[in-house]
Amino acid sequence: MIVPAYNEAETLAEVLARVHQTGLADEIIVVDDGSTDGTWELLNALQADYNLRLFRHDRNRGKGAAVRTGIQHATQELVLIQDADLEYDPEDYARLIQPLVEDRADVVYGSRFLSDARQPGIFWNVLANRMLTLLTNLLYNNVLSDMETGYKAFRREIALELPLKARGFDFEPEFTALILKKGVRVHEVPVSFTPRRYKEGKKIRLKDAFIAFWTLIKYRVID
């Protein structure tokens, strides 16, 4: 389990408690991406309770950089990315890893758009996600329903073989483009999703959609 965190002191304790309650996280790696709101101090206070493995960037480098740090330090065969906010529910952890355990997939995406019941999100964010997913499917000849999902589980060896360079939210399209080009087995499962608003700390912005668009194009035309 990799938990990238940047200024998430308000939600992090609850997220870690929920992860711990699943009983499925043999290793919890939290990467503090240069937080300034007390996240690092909170993590140190919780470290013994949840047997956390903690790493810290000296400055904010971006979600992609935090995830890559986590991958490099992971020791378990199966890895799952759990955001430090409360948008994704750890109760879906078992559903995400099942295709990996059963050897039906090497990468599993938790799709926010396959679930029958979900909370409405911000219109422009949803539209951007849909358009980027459509572009992904057109460029890489696939039928994903949610390329931009932050809930991903995968075999660590697969991630280590990828030339990941993304530092920010472009991690999602970069990871997706690379695994689709590599031809690994990808599976999607429905997950619950509770979107938060910008006033609640949501960090992704419209500019990130344009960066994702360019990332998808770039990896289609280069080796």
Would you state the pLDDT for residue 31? 98
Would you state the pLDDT for residue 119? 54
85: β partners? none
pLDDT per 10-residue tile (average), the chain, 223 residues: 96 96 96 97 97 97 97 98 92 96 97 71 76 96 95 97 95 97 97 69 70 94 78
Please, which contacts does 56-59 make with residues 24 or more away whose CB atoms are closer than 8 Å?
56/31, 56/32, 57/31, 57/32, 57/33, 58/34, 59/34
Would you state the pLDDT for residue 131? 94
pTM of the predicted model as reported, rounded to 2 decimal places: 0.91
Would you state the pLDDT for residue 199? 53
CA 174 to chain centre: 12
Of 149, 151, 164, 1, the residue nearest 74 (C-alpha): 1
What is d(CA 13, CA 5) in angstroms, rounded to the nearest whole number?
11
